[in-house]
C-alpha cells in the first residue's frame, strides 16, 4: 500500500542525521522492552512478519510521522494483540492484561537467543523456471495495491537490470493477509539514480531493490 512508511525519494522531510558509530542500541529503557514484547508476541505464531509490517504501515499518517521507531512498533503491537484476541480493549485501557495460563508456544528465557539466531527462513522451493536472468533489462510495474507490498513506490515504472536471482521466497503481498505464502522468485534489481530522480541526482548513484517476479515486466 502507499502508506506513510513509503518515503523513499520523497522531499520535504529534512535531512537524515546519523548519530554515528557510538549511537546506542536503545535511547531509553522502554525501547528495549518494546522490542522484547514484539519479539515475544510474534513467537506465539498468531501472525506473520508480513502482517506485522502491514499493521505498522497502516497506522494513520499523523500517528506514524509523530511517533518514534519503537512507538510505531508498540502501536502496531497493540492492534495485533487486539485483532488476534490476545488482549481486550479493557486490558489495553488498564495497561495490564489479566493473568492467564502460559501459551504453549511461550519461549523460556534461555530459548530466546537461539531462536533469534535461527531466524525464520523465507526461502521456498519452486518448480517453475525463472522469467529473468542476471543482466536482463526489466521494468517495475506501476501498481497501487490497497494491501501490503514490498515494491517501493519510487521505482514503479522505472527501468532496471537484474543483478541476482535468489530463488523462491514467501510472497509478502499474500502472506500479510492470510492468503498463503504463494512463493515467487526473488531478484535483486539495480536502478540508475538518473532513471529514478532525474539529471540532478548525485553522479554514479545506483539503487538495488529486491523485487518479486510479479513486480517486474521485461523491458
**pLDDT on residue 96:** 82
Does the fold of domain 137-218 match that of domain 29-118?
no
Q: What are phi and psi of 94, to 5 degrees?
A: -80, -25
Mean pLDDT for back-to-back runs of 10 residues, the chain (219 residues): 90 87 93 93 93 97 96 97 93 84 81 86 96 98 96 97 98 98 98 95 95 98
Query: What was the pLDDT predicted at 153?
Result: 95
Q: Where are the alpha helices (DSSP H) in 28-131?
A: 29-42, 49-57, 61-65, 69-83, 89-94, 109-118
What pLDDT sits at residue 111? Answer: 84
Question: How does strand 206-212 pair with strand 184-192?
Answer: antiparallel
Supply the pLDDT for residue 183.
98
Q: Which CATH class is domain 29-118?
A: mainly alpha
Domain boundaries along the sequence of the chain: 29-118, 137-218
Predicted local distance difference test score (pLDDT) of residue 123: 97
Tens digits of per-residue pLDDT, 10-62? 888 888 888 989 999 999 999 999 999 999 899 889 999 999 999 999 999 99
Cα–Cα distance measured from residue 122 to residue 133, given in angstroms and rounded to the nearest whole number? 21
Q: In what order do the strands lie in the sheet with 216-218?
A: 206-212, 184-192, 159-169, 137-140, 216-218
Query: Measured over all CA atoms, what is the biggest interatomic distance in the chain, rounded to whole angstroms?
Result: 61
Polymer length of the chain: 219
CB-based contacts of 105, cutoff 8 Å, min separation 6:
43, 44, 45
Host H or E run for residue 206: strand 206-212
The class of domain 137-218 in CATH terms is: mainly beta
Q: Which residues pair with 184 in a beta bridge?
A: 169
User: How confident is the model at residue 100, as a pLDDT?
Assistant: 75
CB neighbour class for 85 (10 Å; exposed up to 12, middle 13-18, buried from 19): exposed
Amino acid at each position: 500500500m502507499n502508506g506513510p512508511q513509503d518515503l523513499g525519494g520523497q522531499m520535504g522531510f529534512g535531512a537524515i542525521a546519523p548519530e554515528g558509530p557510538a549511537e546506542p542500541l536503545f535511547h531509553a529503557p522502554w525501547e528495549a522492552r518494546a522490542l522484547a514484547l514484539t519479539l515475544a508476541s510474534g513467537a506465539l505464531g498468531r501472525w506473520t512478519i508480513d502482517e506485522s509490517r502491514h499493521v505498522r504501515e497502516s497506522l494513520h499518517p499523523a500517528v506514524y510521522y509523530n511517533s518514534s521507531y519503537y512507538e510505531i512498533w508498540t502501536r502496531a503491537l497493540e492492534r495485533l494483540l487486539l485483532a488476534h484476541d490476545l488482549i481486550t480493549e479493557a486490558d489495553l485501557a488498564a495497561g495490564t492484561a489479566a493473568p492467564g495460563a502460559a501459551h504453549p508456544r511461550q519461549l523460556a528465557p534461555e530459548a530466546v537467543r537461539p531462536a533469534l539466531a535461527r531466524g525464520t527462513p523465507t526461502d521456498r522451493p519452486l518448480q517453475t523456471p525463472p522469467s529473468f536472468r542476471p543482466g536482463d533489462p526489466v521494468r517495475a510495474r506501476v501498481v497501487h495495491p490497497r494491501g501490503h507490498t514490498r515494491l517501493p513506490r519510487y521505482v514503479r515504472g522505472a527501468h532496471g537490470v537484474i543483478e541476482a536471482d535468489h530463488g523462491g521466497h514467501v510472497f509478502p503481498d499474500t502472506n500479510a493477509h492470510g492468503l498463503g505464502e504463494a512463493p515467487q522468485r526473488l531478484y535483486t534489481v539495480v536502478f540508475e539514480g538518473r532513471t529514478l530522480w532525474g539529471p540532478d541526482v548525485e553522479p554514479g548513484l545506483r539503487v538495488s531493490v529486491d523485487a518479486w517476479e510479479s513486480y517486474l515486466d521485461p523491458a
